[in-house]
Amino acid sequence: MTTATSPRNSSRSVRPAAWLALVATSAALVLLGALHVLSPEFSPSWRMVSEYAFGHHARLLSLMFLCWGIGSWALAVAIWNEVHSAAGKVGLWLLILAGIGEAMASIFDIRHEVGHGIAGLLGVIGFPIAALLLSVALGGKESWRSVRRALLWIANLSWISVVLLIVTMAVMITQLAHATGGHLPQHAPKTLPPGVLALDGWADRLIVVSNCAWVLLAAMHAIRIRPKEDLS
């Protein structure tokens, strides 16, 4: 009897978990947008999202990271029974680890170098791999084929944004060192010298937006393919 009812009981958590992923991830994006408005002193072109911790709205930043992590965890629950391949299961666990990293950043901000570094490693590196593995695993199912291409596009954008961050940051640091005679400032300056190309902040924000976009699309489709009748 337990075996017969377990699949039905687990299916009842799909829609609530998917809705939680939808709401939490949307909240993370709204909070990120709010930080741009409330902390205009941090130029989004070259200041990292984590640097909002130095401003007057550090709690909003912590809440944003927490919502981001909750969204990833909730999505893992929502699609757990949709994934059956070994690679897909690895993707699920990486999604959970990415959520841990995202949530860790709400506790260990940029002033906690080790903790924040681990959080970034789990979230920024773990999520693109998870998204790619899960896009392939889910896309192999008939019920997910309509969003397979979109999921893959966004999953690829998530790792491309990481590469863009590395490249643009390297360019900015090189140009900044040249502009300052080889002496990099210990703390982020209020303005950049003329001739320094600053795009790494946008790349950093693209990571957040692309990761959230993938979760939102997967969560919305999980809701779409799970009829309300399954809850009864």
**What's the mean pLDDT in 106-123?**
92
Please determine, for residue 3, whether its predicted confidence score (pLDDT) is greater than 50: no
Please determine, for residue 168, whether its predicted confidence score (pLDDT) is greater than 50: yes
Task: Choose between 121 and 194: higher pLDDT.
Answer: 121
pLDDT at 92: 97
pLDDT at 178: 75
Please determine, for residue 229, whether its predicted confidence score (pLDDT) is greater than 60: no
Please determine, for residue 232, whether its predicted confidence score (pLDDT) is greater than 90: no
At 179-212, the pLDDT tens digits run 766 666 556 666 776 777 888 999 999 999 999 9
Task: Work out the mean pLDDT of the chain and round it to a whole number.
Answer: 88
Q: How many residues are present in the chain?
A: 232
At 36-60, the pLDDT tens digits run 999 999 989 988 999 999 999 999 9
Task: Tell me the pTM.
Answer: 0.88
Distance of CA 84 to the CA centre of its chain: 23
pLDDT at 228: 53
Distance of CA 123 to the CA centre of its chain: 7
The residue type of 44 is P
pLDDT at 147: 96
Alpha helices for the chain (secondary structure H): 2-11, 14-38, 58-79, 86-104, 113-120, 126-139, 145-179, 200-224
Please determine, for residue 220, whether its predicted confidence score (pLDDT) is greater than 50: yes
Task: Choose between 11 and 151: higher pLDDT.
Answer: 151
pLDDT at 89: 97
Residues 6+ apart with CB under 8 A from 190: 41
Task: Choose between 174 and 101: higher pLDDT.
Answer: 101
d(CA 156, CA 191): 33
d(CA 107, CA 26): 20
Q: Please, are residues 134 and 208 in contact by the beta-carbon 8 Å criterion?
A: no
User: How does residue 33 score in pLDDT terms, banded at 50, 70 and 90?
Assistant: very high
